[in-house]
Amino acid sequence: MVNTAVTLCGIELTNPVIPASGTFGYGREFAEIYDIDCLGAFAIKGTTREPRFGNPAPRIADAPAGMLNSVGLQNPGVDAVVARELPELAKVYHKKVLANVCGFSVDEYVEVAARLDKEDIVGWLELNVSCPNVHGGGMGFGTTCSGAAEVTREVKRAVKKPVIVKLTPNVTDIAAIARACEDAGADGLSLINTVLAMRIDPAARKPVLANITGGLSGGAVFPLALRCVYQAYEAVGIPIIGMGGVRSARDVIEMTLAGATAVGVGAANLINPFAAKEIIEALPAEMEKYGIENLVDIIGGAHNG
């Protein structure tokens, strides 16, 4: 019998599969079609201090082997998340979640993180310093070592729960930014967020998305995400949640070999609402296929070959 359990920043997960923020809402819709307690954990929608309607439409576009989104961190704001969303979530999910924290200033990151840190269902705080779809925040903090480190350092001072920093691939040296976050006190890393991209409508002769650019996700980005996880693992000694184009149990094993302790499933949830469940169910057989008894034994295994 294989063992899929892993430990992420001191919290044990029955399996490594974590639906990524923005692709699983607050879990309630998925709980209507299957028992979401089968998940290792999941990340709730990105939360800001104030409610956000998001970017104007159109904000979704098709792409080869993937999709573009420019949703723009639509969410009800931290007050509503604490008062309504998390209590409702606790009725259908009985494990810890990652609270994805977004901001347009360091002070906003600190305030939102401190509020969510007090919630029992929150196990980790995931700092989104990598969203490419907003102006004046998000990715602006994650493209420099100093910016990512400052947010990490200030949030760590204000909270007690593990802080996981979500990194963007839209940088020259992701390993350097990973090290900066670790040096600033990060307990873990999530990578990658979406890749900045665009589509153009030949008939209208203008960009398809109202925001012009959006984030590319889906199978097309998996090799890029795998490379980033591999490089980050070489650079740091803290756990990594690997994500980006994960669609199968084999992808989970590849991510684990690259250095991921847990594995995020994003766009696949939007295509098939059972994607995370099916990956979890397929993982034991895939492990047996490759002679893997304990998943933890192969974390970073591709670096030893």
100, 117, 118, 127, 288 from 82: Cα distances, Å: 13, 10, 9, 17, 41
Alpha helices in 76-121, H assignment, sequence order: 78-80, 86-90, 106-117
**Residue (of 231, 125, 143) closest to 185 by Cα position:** 125
- Whether residue 152 contacts residue 181, with contact meaning beta carbons closer than 8 Å, is answered with yes
**Residue (of 125, 128, 133, 137) closest to 162 by Cα position:** 125
What single string gives the DSSP state of each residue in 138-157? THHHHSSHHHHHHHHHHHHH
Count of beta carbons in the 10 Å neighbourhood of residue 271: 13
Does the annotation mark 9 as catalytic? no
Taking the C-alpha atoms of residue 89 and residue 274, their distance in angstroms, rounded to an integer, is: 18
Omega prior to 58 cis, within 30 of 0: yes
Catalytic residue of the set 9, 102, 131, 228: 131
Q: Cite the active site residues.
A: 131
